[in-house]
Amino acid sequence: MPQMPFEVESTRDREDARLTLSGELDIATVPRVEAAVNATLTNDVCTLTIDMTDLRFVDSSGLRMFIVLDKRAQQEGWTLRLIPPGEQVLTIFRVSGVEENLPFVEGPA
């Protein structure tokens, strides 16, 4: 099966921003998500939703990024909402024990 190219799509509606991720989130693509988050989080963004529905793979660097983002949201006073990936990818969140500590929401919102 050919590797899907990784994509980050950004949309914004006033105080709500959304990043939609597709493909494989790994050590090579995490910096692209971090850059998109930083570009999206301007002073008036209150909620950042990250849609992981179309992710096909997440490695440990991707997991770490979500944990760091959750802590950052708490420290900076904005809300992080994560729309979970499919069952196969969600397994890494469950096995690593981070699923219950991340702000997953029912998707798509």
Q: Please, which pLDDT band fits residue 42 given cuts at 50, 70 and 90?
A: confident
| Residue 2, pLDDT score | 53
Kindly state the tokens that stand for 11.
């949309």
Strand, helix or coil at 6? coil
Please report the domains of the chain, with CATH numbers, ordered by start residue: 16-101 (3.30.750.24)
- Report the distance separating Cα 73 and Cα 15, nearest Å: 14
Could you read off the pLDDT of 10-27 as tens digits, one per residue? Answer: 999 989 999 999 999 999
Rounded mean pLDDT, 53-69: 96
- Report the distance separating Cα 40 and Cα 49, nearest Å: 11
Is this structure's pTM higher than 0.95?
A: no
- Tokens 């590797």, located at residue: 3
Kindly state the tokens that stand for 90.
């969600």
| Residue 44, pLDDT score | 85
Give the orientation angle of helix 30-40 with respect to helix 60-76, to 10 degrees.
20
| Residue 1, pLDDT score | 47
User: Are 82 and 102 within 8 A, CB to CB?
Assistant: yes
Rounded mean pLDDT, 45-54: 96
